[in-house]
Structure 1
Amino acid sequence: MTIFSAQSTIITRASVALLSSNGLKRFSFSSTALYSPPLPKTKKRRFPIVSAVDIGGVTIARNDVVREDDPTNNVPDSIFSKLGMQLHRRDKHPIGIIKNAIYHYFDSNYAKKFETFEDLSPIVTTKQNFDDVLVPADHVSRSLNDTYYVDSQTVLRCHTSAHQAELLREGHRRFLVTGDVYRRDSIDSTHYPVFHQMEGFCVFSPEDWNESGKDSTLYAAEDLKKCLEGLARHLFGAVEMRWVDTYFPFTEPSFELEIYFKEDWLEVLGCGVTEQRILKQSGLENNVAWAFGLGLERLAMVLFDIPDIRLFWSDDERFTSQFGKGELGVKFKPFSKYPPCYKDISFWISESFTENNFCEVVRGIAGDLVEEVKLIDSFTNKKGMTSHCYRIVFRSMERSLTDEEVNDLQSKVRDEVQRKLNVELR
């Protein structure tokens, strides 16, 4: 869902172009942020260099996002190239189809009372991404291991909740925000460093709950559950559902909605009654609100039977031709699945080693040719040194890989892992 899923201090001054629903804005700021040590920069390039991307009609140059001279920047070219793709705005793509189906539900049941925003810039300040939604200062998500930083105070949004405060201050009270979000993560069939989310937000005034005779929090919680149960039926049909109490820093109480689908319980989304601090910061201390967040890839993989998250980014006609505008739930027909190639790599890790950094190195070399990275062995010797052995699965979705190119990829991975991660190969 939105985020409803040994550090040093760096002070910097920057000015970066950010987009909002009102067009191009320029922000300047100077303050502090928490970081883990960044990876050293490499001059070797494994991807074609994209010089600029277009978002909402505004061009963002590569140098605004990929800054090789800034030690706090950890955005690779492979991630920058995804910024302008906006799969959620393609009506014949599974992500766009689900987005439009959710829009249809809200339009049909709330008489167009919910505004939609889908072209807000994914480049946001750390205040928007973390502080405005009450993410604690020491939360792991603020680390360079988890988040893509443009500079010390600017990130690629980790969740669409980053726009809550901005929209509330502009006077919006019921809205849906859809967009691409970015997180450094593991590599497997369900995780990708770019994915898509939708945030829903609804504000109530005292007149709303006073007429019901209910407590404001209870009123908002009941309205939220009714809304989302209807959405689940709209997407999945007459399914069994259950609510699970959970914790999010920005809602209280907080819930997860699960549905019984294909003989298993599936988490659909996270939600809750918005913390009053968030409303107060936007001048709405006398109001109550609810919010929810859901991952569009997660829903699409279930509804369309898509087995590998990399497929969403494929231009192969054998994938793209299977889906049409408004065709919700068409089952994906796998085309020839090419054979995997397994390569293992073992090394003694250092204290600064993290698996996310390792996966980022592998992605930087192999891109979407890597299907999975899995820790298969770990041990500590008598000297206290710890060894990890990872199995890397190389597989193209469109062709058979040759032994020569896989061996070349593995050789480059070994070189870069040793150079960038301060580990000793075994």
Structure 2
Amino acid sequence: MKSIIKNIANSNTHTTILNKHYPKSSITNVTPNIIKHIGLNLHNNKNSPIYTIRQLIEDTFDASSYRKFDKYNNFGPIVTVKKNFDDLGFPKDHVGRSKTDTYYINDELLLRTHTSAHEVECFKNLSKSKDHNNKSISSLVNGHGYLISADVYRRDEIDKTHYPVFHQMEGTKTWNRFTHNEVIESEVNKMDQLMKKNFPSLTVEDVDYIKDDATHQNSKQDYMTDLETELVVKHMKKSLELVVATLLKHRYDHDASKDKNFKNPDIKMRWIEAYFPWTRPSFELEIYYNNEWLEVLGCGVTKNSVFTNADMASESQVGWAFGIGIDRLAMLLYNIKDIRLLWSQDNRFTSQFEGKEGTIFEFKPFSTYGITSRDISFFLTKELNPNDVMEIVRDEAQSWCYSCTLVDEFFNKKMNKKSQTYRISYQNLERNITTAEINEINDKVVDRLIKEFEIQPRN
């Protein structure tokens, strides 16, 4: 009995993650449902499509590079606020810092919201590394890069394409300034040859978005010359075009092996202008897939401030960086319609990927069970963010929640209160859910909203 009481007391003051206890604070909002995902690391599970996408991207980068990229696939997800936000220059009032967007363990620790939380230490490692063929010089003379793959955590909306835990990959290729330009040009030429050989039907739309106006967010950085900017951008775009084309080819080649009448479609890509805090100029790459244009990644020329934050000499390096959502690519290339399936232990799902690492194929959907919806309506008495509602729904329904949507909102002048209505749709991927089970979950959601946000339910 004493041990039970002690455990209850500890749960009120501490959060336990992977058998380690962390003190709670007023900002603590990480939930048991989220904690149970920590340590699953789908990007390291050979029987997961996430692993295959990660592996193919890594192999493609290495194949055209003077030196293989450093791989970081085992960073723990608990990081400091400093690493996740402060070191990256997030303003104190940035929305990403809010409790409605981020899972906090306490005032100092959180679950990383992006792989960039490890960026500074990875750049520091690059700056200390020596060339693998000539130990007397820095690895940055001929270029060196890293790739980080990890699970990241964000309080987000609930639907078939969003999940509070997902996987990102980010990376960089960096050179010392004043490196002979031939080093970069030689890799660009190598990639050109690979593209012409492997993807003769590839077409890329590319407009010059780099502005001459220094006040424009997509102008080149002042410390870089026009030639440096041109070469770095060209290397970046060729590298990422090669990666995406390779992933598509794996899928198309598999389809052709199953159907001798299948003809690999032409691969179409286009670059569009973008904005990211750590790169300038910045771009997004879109592909034409299943008759529509889809954004697959973001990238840009690494800002000098990133290098200086990693204690590298200011204005002494040039390079590019990119970020990509692995889950979204996996869903796209395997044609997986529901993101919850990536986490499923249902044998109808897992058996399709066992022993098939390195292969991209058409996922075979299986019969799904019915979706049942319930509406909850209430008046607000205090501030309530939709993400707060969705987190309670996610915590109570867990993987049974198919979607949660704010469907109605109005202001009642007579009561001087705002009203909201949410539609919650439930579906179990492995069996039908009973009406009693749905009602029980719905009641728990309403009870928590009353307790935590003092809502007034409407009939």
Same fold (TM over 0.5): yes
| Alpha-carbon offset, residue 425 of structure 1 | 1.0
For residues 195-214 of structure 1, the aligned pairs below 5 Å read 195-208=166-179, 210-211=181-182
| Alpha-carbon offset, residue 170 of structure 1 | 2.5
2:300 — aligned with what?
272
2:231 — aligned with what?
219
| Alpha-carbon offset, residue 132 of structure 1 | 2.2
- The reply to whether residue 103 of structure 1 matches residue 37 of structure 2 is no
Separation of aligned partners in 2, 1:364 and 1:101: 34
Q: Is the Cα contact below 8 Å between 2:410 and 2:418 reproduced in 1?
A: yes
Separation of aligned partners in 2, 1:99 and 1:418: 43
1:34 — aligned with what?
none
Q: Is the Cα contact below 8 Å between 1:106 and 1:112 reproduced in 2?
A: no
* Greater Cα shift, 215-224 or 182-191: 215-224
For residues 249-398 of structure 1, the aligned pairs below 5 Å read 249-282=277-310, 283-285=312-314, 286-323=316-353, 324-383=355-414, 384-398=416-430
- The reply to whether residue 150 of structure 1 matches residue 182 of structure 2 is no
| Alpha-carbon offset, residue 281 of structure 1 | 2.1
Q: In structure 2, the residue corresponding to 1:207 is in which secondary structure?
A: coil
Q: What 5-or-longer segments of structure 1 have no aligned partner?
A: 1-42, 44-49, 54-59
Separation of aligned partners in 2, 1:248 and 1:350: 37
What code does the residue aligned with 1:192 have?
Y
2:87 — aligned with what?
132
Separation of aligned partners in 2, 1:403 and 1:146: 32
* Deviation per residue, 1:367-388 (Å, 9 max, x gap): 1111100111111122442211
* Deviation per residue, 1:141-175 (Å, 9 max, x gap): 01011011111122111011111101112336410
Q: Is the Cα contact below 8 Å between 1:209 and 1:216 reproduced in 2?
A: no
Separation of aligned partners in 1, 2:116 and 2:59: 21
Deviating runs (4+, > 4 A) in structure 1? 209-214
Which of 227, 231, 244 is residue 232 of structure 1 equivalent to? 244
Q: Is the Cα contact below 8 Å between 1:209 and 1:215 reproduced in 2?
A: no
Q: In structure 1, the residue corresponding to 2:322 is in which secondary structure?
A: strand
Q: In structure 2, the residue corresponding to 1:215 is in which secondary structure?
A: helix
Separation of aligned partners in 2, 1:129 and 1:317: 36
2:191 — aligned with what?
none
Q: Is the Cα contact below 8 Å between 1:247 and 1:255 reproduced in 2?
A: yes
What code does the residue aligned with 2:154 have?
R
Separation of aligned partners in 2, 1:118 and 1:257: 24
2:261 — aligned with what?
none
1:242 — aligned with what?
270
* Greater Cα shift, 112-121 or 290-299: 112-121
What code does the residue aligned with 1:119 have?
N
Over the aligned positions, Cα root-mean-square deviation in angstroms equals 1.9
* Deviation per residue, 1:255-278 (Å, 9 max, x gap): 110011000000000111111111
Separation of aligned partners in 2, 1:165 and 1:248: 17
Q: In structure 2, the residue corresponding to 1:246 is in which secondary structure?
A: strand
Report how many residues are paired.
Answer: 369
| More helix as a share of residues | 2
Which one has the largest radius of gyration? 2
Separation of aligned partners in 1, 2:57 and 2:229: 25
Separation of aligned partners in 2, 1:171 and 1:107: 16
2:448 — aligned with what?
416
| Alpha-carbon offset, residue 52 of structure 1 | 5.0
What code does the residue aligned with 1:341 have?
T
* Deviation per residue, 1:389-409 (Å, 9 max, x gap): 111001000000011111111
What code does the residue aligned with 1:296 have?
I
1:399 — aligned with what?
431
Q: Is the Cα contact below 8 Å between 1:358 and 1:421 reproduced in 2?
A: no
Separation of aligned partners in 2, 1:200 and 1:362: 35
Separation of aligned partners in 2, 1:220 and 1:412: 54
TM-score, normalising length from structure 1? 0.83
- Counterparts in 2 of 1:92 and 1:265: CA distance versus 1, 3 Å: same
Q: What 5-or-longer segments of structure 2 have no aligned partner?
A: 1-7, 9-14, 128-143, 186-224, 250-265
What code does the residue aligned with 1:405 have?
E
Separation of aligned partners in 2, 1:229 and 1:354: 39
Separation of aligned partners in 2, 1:168 and 1:262: 38
Q: Is the Cα contact below 8 Å between 1:178 and 1:197 reproduced in 2?
A: yes
Separation of aligned partners in 1, 2:238 and 2:90: 27
* Greater Cα shift, 84-93 or 274-283: 274-283
1:7 — aligned with what?
none
Separation of aligned partners in 1, 2:325 and 2:293: 16
1:166 — aligned with what?
121
Separation of aligned partners in 1, 2:125 and 2:358: 35
What code does the residue aligned with 1:198 have?
M
| More strand as a share of residues | 1
2:190 — aligned with what?
none
Q: Is the Cα contact below 8 Å between 1:189 and 1:308 reproduced in 2?
A: yes
Q: In structure 2, the residue corresponding to 1:257 is in which secondary structure?
A: strand
| Alpha-carbon offset, residue 284 of structure 1 | 3.6
Separation of aligned partners in 2, 1:314 and 1:156: 22
What code does the residue aligned with 1:167 have?
C
Q: Is the Cα contact below 8 Å between 1:200 and 1:293 reproduced in 2?
A: yes
